[in-house]
Amino acid sequence: MNLIEKIEAAGVVGCGGAGFPTHRKLSGTFEYLIANGAECEPCLRHDRWLMRNKAKEIVQAMDAIAAELNIPNAVVALKGHYEAEAEAIEAAAKELGSNVRVHRMESFYPAGDEQTMVYEVTGRVVPPAGIPAAVGAVVDNVATLYAVWEAMQGIPFTKKFLTVTGEVNEPSVLHVPVGTPFTKCIELAGGAKRSEYFVVTGGPMMGKPVPPEELADAVVTKTTGGILVLPADGYHARVSQLNVKRMLSRAKSACIQCTSCSQLCPRHMLGHPLQPHMIMRKMAMGGEPKDMLDDPVIRSAALCCECGICEVYACPMGLNPRKINAIIKGELREAGIRYERTGDSWTPSPEREVRKAPTDKVAARAGVYRYNKLEVGNYVEYDGR
């Protein structure tokens, strides 16, 4: 088997959250292979652990992919303050005689968004509703690349690296079999500090709440990146109680059209025709999203990456543009409506550099600053027995 066939046989999918089959993602012609080591979400640490402890494997996987697909540029993109991780990758590349290089970015959110990362590394803007391949790039998470290295050894993708942090006694990076219960993962991280807590799977910005009544049945999947154990009365628990009707009602009554959500939107700053405040304005005019799908402004919600900057960081009124965009995107999918791109070039905002949201400030707004400062030094290898 060639490398792509080995990746398919091992069942490797994207570990960054989307879960797209890696062998299909690597189908094409590329100028750049970019390893996403930015650990986009606050609080998560497993990608950093991998770069520190599995740097040679990551570099070997990148070299193999670059050779197989004849990709001239192989880059690990990470945040500039990830000094130990950058040094580990550079040392591994030097030892292996590899051309893999490190690209240091600022510490901002969402640095790990692949369209943002492609621009940071290449200076090219991925077209609205497009994928990095449109500008000659392919982006894979560093955990995905480690799974590719395992596939090269004939090891199937059956175990997942993830972070368990927050209100636990021993914040940890775990390596556990797919199917491991969340409750077991929390136990492996020393157990919860409090009897009542609220769980989010993923990160604090884009993660999904796990209703308390569903926690006992929740298990690790190939796309699980984190388990956050948060206060039962905290921000995430409160927001999870907002229903669609309430969110729309608040949008119609409280949006002050300050445009902050648009000014700080990472896709808008790349030059994409997405302005969340305009969508909120349309919602304020009344009507349900499903009745407004012919409106070009409403259809632009399809460009939203759902990073959460608009509602967690930008909006002074505590409204939910991201969730409203997600509702609209669902209605568009249900109606079979795909975004129709116009134009052939997009220019990033000249103010983009000064509008980047610092990761620590984003974590503070999301109510997880103290967890973002935890040193997740504990590593647990669990075989399921």
Both 55 and 144 in a single domain?
yes
Q: Please indicate, yes or no, if residue 328 is contained in any of the structural domains.
A: yes
Both 186 and 260 in a single domain?
no
374, pLDDT greater than 90: no
Q: Please indicate, yes or no, if residue 258 is contained in any of the structural domains.
A: yes
Q: Please indicate, yes or no, if residue 166 is contained in any of the structural domains.
A: yes
Both 290 and 331 in a single domain?
yes
pLDDT one-digit tens code per residue, 54-74:
999 999 999 999 999 999 999
Both 129 and 71 in a single domain?
yes
Query: How many domains, the chain?
Result: 3
Both 248 and 322 in a single domain?
yes
pLDDT one-digit tens code per residue, 62-107:
999 999 999 999 999 999 999 999 999 999 999 999 999 999 999 9
279, pLDDT greater than 80: yes
Both 138 and 51 in a single domain?
yes
pLDDT one-digit tens code per residue, 320-365:
999 999 999 999 999 999 999 988 889 999 999 999 999 999 999 9
Domain end residue (candidates: 152, 186, 211): 152
Both 217 and 274 in a single domain?
no
Sheet harboring 101-105: ordered strands across?
101-105, 73-79, 32-36, 137-141
Q: Please indicate, yes or no, if residue 55 is contained in any of the structural domains.
A: yes
CATH number of the domain residue 128 falls in: 3.40.50.11540
CATH number of the domain residue 178 falls in: 3.10.20.600
Both 207 and 277 in a single domain?
no
pLDDT one-digit tens code per residue, 22-39:
999 999 999 999 999 999
- Tell me if the pTM is above 0.75: yes
Distance from chain centroid for Cα 222: 14
307, pLDDT greater than 80: yes
Both 80 and 172 in a single domain?
no
Both 22 and 106 in a single domain?
yes
Q: What is the per-residue pLDDT for 309?
A: 97
Q: Which domain holds residue 81?
A: 3-152
Both 371 and 359 in a single domain?
no
Q: Please indicate, yes or no, if residue 239 is contained in any of the structural domains.
A: no
Both 111 and 230 in a single domain?
no
Q: Please indicate, yes or no, if residue 21 is contained in any of the structural domains.
A: yes
Going by C-alpha positions, the residue among 288, 321, 286, 290 that lies closest to residue 307 is 321
Domain end residue (candidates: 98, 122, 152): 152
Kindly indicate the confidence band of residue 13, based on its pLDDT and cuts at 50, 70 and 90: very high
Q: Please indicate, yes or no, if residue 131 is contained in any of the structural domains.
A: yes
